[in-house]
Amino acid sequence: MNHFFPRFQAVAGGLLAVLLMAQCSATRENETPSMAARARANETQAATSVAAPAAPATPATDAAVAPADAANPPGTATAAAAPVAPAAVAVKRSNAEYKTDIKTATATLKTKPRDFDAYLNRGRANAALKNYREALTDFNMALRLKPTNADALYNRGLTRVKTKEFNAAISDFGKVLRYRPEDKEAFFGRGLAKMSLDNFKGAIPDFNKAIELDNSYADAYEYRGICYSSINKPEDARRDLEKAAQLNPEATQSLKRYAKQ
């Protein structure tokens, strides 16, 4: 099971890295940038993420913006590799900065043990440092305080993909969509988790929705193309992979690998 194609696996890891970097930031209500774009935007805001949290990209990483509480009330495929996210423009935050975020949040929790933002920010920083178990503990605590918060659910979903808890990740992304029904990253993340379980056919509707919400979503075209290739729909696969390569030159690798002649 989990027979990732080489690029799919590498890309999934690279994209998730970007997404988890996006966790160190937050997304404002009604904003739904691509997972990779969210990660980049989060990096530029990360320096102030703990003092003034912002709201996550995530599938496939680290950033922070103020939580959106207004909208979130109290077959056989060969091994594949996931698409690589577009190159980030923002300067990546250092591990030392993430560690500072953790220290700041921990200090806050000593005096305010029910501080939702501190748990969420510490979880994002832990995820950025690949401390996934610690991150999950923080997201779980945040969700005890605000069970319907879409940002915490989304970040936990991304982290669960990294820990290969794919069914749990699918559940988290599904909950995000209850509160943010047009969150294209949640659709993408759920599709990615389904692909990780070799459920290529089941992932396609999620990528369809992500593309419907953003018709320039290169990663969604690329992953959907890989899904089509995996279920022996070569014409659909080539169409999507060519589109993905037009939008993101790095997808050319997937075009060469999965678009059958």
CA distance 118 to 124: 10
- Mean pLDDT value across residues 142-166: 98
Counting beta carbons within 10 angstroms of the beta carbon of residue 209, is it exposed (0 to 12), middle (13 to 18) or buried (19 or more)?
buried
Residue type, position 241, single letter: L
Residue 71 confidence (pLDDT) above 60: no
Output 152 or 54, whichever has higher pLDDT. 152
SS3 state at 81:
strand
Is the overall model pTM greater than 0.85, yes or no? no
Distance CA 63, CA 128 (A): 8
Is pLDDT at 36 greater than 70 in this prediction?
no
In this prediction, residue 261 carries a pLDDT of: 55
For residue 174, the model assigns a pLDDT of 98
136 vs 51, more confident: 136
52 DSSP assignment: S
What number is the average pLDDT over the span 78-101?
64
Euclidean distance between CA atoms 207 and 21, whole angstroms: 22
pLDDT at 260: 77
